[in-house]
Amino acid sequence: MRITCPICGERDIREFTYQGAAVALDRPDPEAGDEAWDHYVHLRENPAGRTRDLWYHSGGCSAWVVVTRDTVTHEVFDTELAEEAKA
């Protein structure tokens, strides 16, 4: 798998560290209650197909990248900087 970093361009997957589903873009309020936090920290949609997840370009520019990809074919559809996806 190769991932296109929005800053550095297309790079080998070895340059990236996987963080998980892109739920971190939608962090609940600290007082939202244990159910909301359980959803955020533990429960996952875990799709077979299109998914959005967060990758850290640890071997490159240190950017957090939101990757839209297919978990069945490993095809990467789209990448964007997390700070822009969140905005």
Partner 1 sequence: MRFSGLRVLKEGLTGNKGWRPHWRDPEPKSDYDIVIIGGGGHGLSTAYYLAREHGLTNVAVLEKGYIGGGNVGRNTTIVRANYFLEGNSQFYSHSLKLWEGLEEDLNYNVMHSQRGLINLFHSDGQRDAFARRGNMMNSQGDDAILLDREGVRKELPYLDFDNPRFPVYGGLFHPRGGTARHDAVAWGYARGADQRGVDLIQNCEVTGIDIENGKVRGVQTTRGAIRAKKVGIVVAGRSGQVAAMAGMRLPIESHILQAFVTEGLKPCIHHVVSFGMGHFYMSQSDKGGLVFGGDLDFYASYAQRGNLPMKEHVMEAGMALMPMIGKAKVLRSWGGIMDMTPDGSPIIDKTGIDGLYIDCGWCYGGFKAVPGSGHCFAHLIAQDRPHAAAEKYRLDRFRTGYGLMDEEGTGPQHNLH
For position 1 contacting partner 1 by CB under 8 A, the verdict is yes
| Bridge partners, residue 79, by sequence | 67
Tokens of 86: 């969140």
| Beta carbon of residue 62, minimum distance to partner 1 (angstroms, whole number) | 19
Stretch that binds partner 1, among 24-32, 49-57, 58-66, 78-86 (CB under 8 A): 49-57
Among positions 10-29, residues that touch partner 1 (CB under 8 A) are 13-14, 18-21
Is 21 in contact with 52 (CB distance < 8 Å)? yes
Count CA atoms within 13 Å of residue 44 on its CB side.
Answer: 12
By CB under 8 A, the count of residues binding partner 1 is: 26
